[in-house]
Structure 1
Amino acid sequence: MRNELTGGRARATGEPFFRESVLHGKPFTRLLAAHTAREHGANHLEEQGLLLHAFSNLLIREGQATPPAAGTRRRERVAVRAAREYLDARFDRNVALEELADVAGLTPVYLCRVFQQEVGLPPHAYQIQRRVMRAKRLLLQGVPPGEVAIAVGFFDQSHFGRYFKRITGVTPNRYFIAER
């Protein structure tokens, strides 16, 4: 598993060596974010992506694994394009990271890494952006925010509101009222 999390860059000898306590700083913060997302009803893709990202970064940055190579090759770009198209067609579904990785033909960890490099966002954030883009269109058509939340795949209206405001800067209700 360690090799998969680090994309094959784990130390060849024994267990990872951590220079200092990792209970402070970014690696631990990422683990807490992943746990918090799970506690607050995050979708599978977000939850799994956050956990894999946190653990792979923990091993790469703190466990003295070799850092990832810069850039992505053609095969990875094709895989990311397949993953994007899959998410575009299923933005309203709770897609599992393993499912998306199967579509792309990559391991879940490697898909997250190259997706981030190619798109600039992890897969779950890309899916959330797609949901918010569709939500804006539905709100412009006069669909009430509560119905929009469910239609675009959010767990409930509060999750929808939080992500919508984070991306657009306004709540769905304000957007709905302002655009009518």
Structure 2
Amino acid sequence: MFPYRGTYLRHVGETQAVAESNQVLLFNALQGYQVSHPVDGGDASLVLVLDEELLRELAPKALTWDKNAFTFRQQQLGIDPRAQALVALLRHSLRENVAERLEAESLSLTLAQRSLGSSTTHSAGANAGRQRLADRTKLILASDLSRRWALADIAAKVGVSPVYLTQVFQQVEGVPLYRYQLRLRLAHSLDLLGQYEDLSQLSLELGFSSHSHFSASFLKTYGRTPTEFRQVALRR
């Protein structure tokens, strides 16, 4: 499951995962879970359901239990910008009915392979306390994507020093806090590109200082300008 709009928490037993556009959530057959919404606004996700045979071929052994039934060891992974772009490309193509079946299936497998691949994903490697701190920080960022947060303000909300927060967040998520926020904003723009004719307005609503700042960040992250990506994804 690839969240592309909004944020929620998925609870499996005593563990939880923050579901937002920097993550992919992994579901096991017959495994119970609950969902809560600490951030208002609802959510939407792209869901891929793959045959067990395909998953066994795509998923590294380190991600799965060695059992008769295919089972993921964890409930989420961090994904890279390329995977985010594939989510948007696949979703827009299906919604606009411009993707043929072969194209859609090929994009789906590419997305699954990239999202499970050890070289393009990040698995949190911290103790429970540090993971909770990172999760609380992610919920704060998601509560207002357009806000230009000061590091001291976020640190005060989670009750630690700015230095400790930046160190822990990078250890848990594998990227600096500021870059994580940038990826959230840019992933949100991927969802909204089809709704805005004026991309300058979109850039300001997402908290960028200018259209040029937004376009430059988008190009650096996804390899295309917002206008070019919209043309490819929406065929217009």
TM-score, normalised to structure 1's length?
A: 0.57
Structure 2: unaligned runs, 5 residues or longer: 1-124
- Is contact 2:196–2:202 with CA below 8 Å preserved after alignment? no
Match of 1:95 in 2: 149
**Distance in 2 of aligned mates of 1:148 and 1:130:** 14
Query: Any residues of structure 2 matched to 1:1-180 within 5 Å, and which?
Result: 72-178=126-232, 179=234, 180=236
**Distance in 1 of aligned mates of 2:205 and 2:229:** 17
- Partner letter of residue 88 of structure 1? A
Deviation at 1:75, TM superposition (A): 1.9
Deviation at 1:140, TM superposition (A): 2.2
**Distance in 2 of aligned mates of 1:80 and 1:106:** 11
CA offsets per residue over residues 118-138 of structure 1, 9 Å max, x none? 111111101100110111111
- Partner letter of residue 182 of structure 2? I
TM-score, normalised to structure 2's length?
A: 0.44
Which structure: greater helix fraction? 1
Partner secondary structure for residue 160 of structure 1: helix
Partner secondary structure for residue 136 of structure 1: helix
Q: Measured at CA, do residues 118 and 143 of structure 1 come closer, stay the same or move farther in structure 2, by a change above 3 Å?
A: farther
Deviation at 1:162, TM superposition (A): 1.1
Which structure: greater strand fraction? 2
Q: Measured at CA, do residues 172 and 124 of structure 1 come closer, stay the same or move farther in structure 2, by a change above 3 Å?
A: same
**Distance in 2 of aligned mates of 1:103 and 1:143:** 36
**Distance in 1 of aligned mates of 2:173 and 2:197:** 30
Among all aligned residue pairs of Structure 1 and Structure 2, give the percentage whose two residues are the same amino acid.
30
Deviation at 1:176, TM superposition (A): 2.6
